[in-house]
A and B are shown apart, each in its own frame.
Chain A
Amino acid sequence: MNLRQRFRVIQLGMLLAGLVITPPVLAQSHLDINQVAANIFPQPPEVEEPPANQLHQRRVARFNIEQNIDAWVFNRFGNEGKAREHLENQIRLSMDALDRECGLSEEQSQKLWLAGQGDMARFFHEVDEIRREFRGQQDQNKINQVWQRLQPLQMKMQSGLFGRDSIFRKVAETTLNEEQTRQQREDQARRAEFAYRASVKIVVAQIESSSPLRARQREQLVELLEQTRPPKMFGPQVHYYVLWQFSKSQDQIAKFLDEAQLEALRPMINQGGAMQQFLKQGGYLD
């Protein structure tokens, strides 16, 4: 057998080995190549797309874009009409709260109502633009694009249209007099404190999923996190803000948790530490 023939035999052997080995190994393997790479060189956690949304993304292919834009954005309410009704109620409830705290004049009420309507108009205009742009599209790449475009709108819908950067809030700041502004800020601070305390407690309860705490340790952790500054806004990712605070406080936490607990919590601490940029983008941090 000459060298060429030997090479052919070796080549055939390799081909057969590849055919025999690859399918069963791939079938048994829990990880794909990307996961292998991710395991070997761990990257910061991908936090921009929560698991629920990834699930949604996978389902996209089965849906018609046009018919489902409404479902993606207004799924909490059923349809656009109900969403509008809900948002108008929220404007009225926010105005009621301001009126209770500071006593609004007729003119102030009208300005605030119009400002709230402005926020709504801006939001629905963005949804309409996406509808127009993607009308009739079936292409998979376009489907992925529409999801990326809708995601911020869905987040906005979840965190509320009348928050920190809204026209409503800006008009409230310029329309209210000094005393009214003071009262409104006090009311907001109390509300934020209430919401933050709830977020801290629920995050501590989640942290215990990785490492159970003794009663005293739990008290200390809650106390420590409650003393941290609340986020700039309360939205669907606020628990990541608390996790970030948890990660920042690890030196103090190390004083009352033992080594095994800290080791068990290490992945969570690392995850929290990698959140800063994400939280800035989401408006939770300056």
Chain B
Amino acid sequence: MRIFTPPTWPKQALVLAMLFTATFALAGRAVGQDLFIVEEPVQQEARAADEADEAQEEEATGEDIPQEVIEDAAKAPEANLARAVGEAVANVLNLLAPRRSVRVIPAARAEPVLDLADDEDFDELDDQTKQLIKQFQPQYEHICREELRFVHAVCHLKRSQFQKLEEAARLTMRQALIGTAEVQAQMQRGWNGPQPPKYPDVRKWLEDALLSAVKRECSADQAALYEDELQARRDFRREACIELIAASLDRELVMTPRQREQILEVLGEAWRKDWQQSTHLLISGNNYFPVLPDGKIQKLLNARQSSHFNGLQKGANHFAGHPWGIFGVPHQGHRGGPLEEELEFAPEEDAP
């Protein structure tokens, strides 16, 4: 008696393909949400050491998983499904490819500073903008986190000061993130107006917000330290931008050493902040220059150079490049808890 008839192959293939797609999509979601992290051997060693320390600490203090983490996890069944499927895929891949010296491991609890999911403003945005926010969020998170770490390194903050600065940075970066995503969405839909919408200057927003918060929340000495560092950074960016423009002009005009020096001087005197927006184009060799002080530059050039200079492309550039720079290295998000838990703070009573 026949008790089993195998199904026809197209149906079976369809079912398998769908399950395979769903599995990979869930695994992808798990990796995309930093529920899993790919570790190289060095990172594996560092993590093992950290975990050993944490285990010792927990044993000593009797700390357990905080209740709110369990509650958060229970609220996100979709993330749990992704986590479960991702874990299964990761385990299979770890078994199949041990020689690659990488491990796919579940990520520790990470607490994004810029998680907008519960934000009222976020709900009102269109889907395209929301998607862009999700895309940019890890990089903005990284920028915010590293700038806060920098302020702490410079000013040796107390915990209470840090918390206030973090709040200020978070508010500003949320606005910058939403602003950037909105402009990007508008540009993707096509812009026909006379002036394209302006992208927020994310770094400047963050630096200004933090400086203002440091002045408000910290001592005058601490504020002076951060202000000096910021000024030095901005001076350096300006200098780097001017030298890049001068070197790009030299490549076109084949100038003398004297002319190069003079061009540097002229650019320094006529400096405009919006020149920085052309940096990413000049670096990539497009030689699309910002609006320069043509008259002053032409006085330094001979007739042939001057004529060639006139033919160069110049104009305002509205996209200053992404705030994470030209190299486009994706930040895979950070592992571990909030930054506050990583830092050592000055004692509340002793710090200025």
Contacts and interface: CB of A to CB of B under 8 A. Distances in A.
Contacts, number: 216
21 contacts: A21-B22, A22-B18, A22-B25, A35-B28, A40-B31, A41-B38, A41-B93, A51-B328, A89-B307, A93-B252, A97-B254, A194-B257, A195-B247, A198-B244, A201-B240, A202-B243, A205-B279, A209-B323, A210-B331, A218-B236, A239-B327
Interface centre among A96, A159, A204 (most CB of B within 10 A): A96
Interface string A265-282: 001100100000000000
Interface residues on A, range: 35 or more
A27 B342 CA distance: 36
Nearest to A268: B329
B233 A26 contact: no
B195 interface: no
Contact of B150 (A33, A191, A212, A237): A212
Interface in B84-105: 89-90, 93, 97, 100, 102, 104
A144 B264 CA distance: 42
Contact of A158 (B240, B247, B286): B286
B47 to A, nearest CB: 12
A105 interface: no
Contact of A31 (B29, B246, B251): B29
Interface in B1-18: 3-5, 7, 11, 14-15, 18
Contacts of A205: 236-237, 240-241, 279
Contacts of B4: 3-4, 7
A28 interface: yes
A1 interface: no
A103 interface: no
Given A97-B254, A258-B153, A42 B38 contact: yes
B257 A190 contact: yes
Interface of A: 2-4, 7, 11, 14-15, 17-19, 21-22, 25-26, 28-33, 35-36, 39-42, 45, 50-52, 76, 82, 85-86, 89-90, 92-94, 96-97, 100, 158-160, 190-191, 194-195, 197-199, 201-202, 204-215, 218, 234-237, 239, 243, 258, 260, 264, 267-268, 271
Nearest to A155: B285
B61 interface: no
Contacts of A39: 28, 31-32, 38
B284 interface: yes
A180 to B, nearest CB: 16
The binding surface of chain A is classed by DSSP as helix
Contacts of B11: 11, 15
Given A11-B11, A26-B21, A202-B243, A36 B329 contact: no
Given A4-B5, A31-B28, A267-B330, A210 B325 contact: yes
Given A31-B31, A215-B229, A271-B329, A202 B21 contact: no
B253 interface: yes
B73 interface: no
Contacts of B260: 194
A52 B324 CA distance: 16
B327 A243 contact: yes
A94 B237 CA distance: 30
B229 A214 contact: yes
B329 A76 contact: no
Given A201-B236, A218-B236, A93 B7 contact: no
B115 interface: no
Interface in B26-78: 26-29, 31-32, 38, 78
B23 to A, nearest CB: 9
Interface centre among B28, B38, B102, B232 (most CB of A within 10 A): B28
Given A29-B28, A205-B240, A235-B285, A89 B304 contact: yes
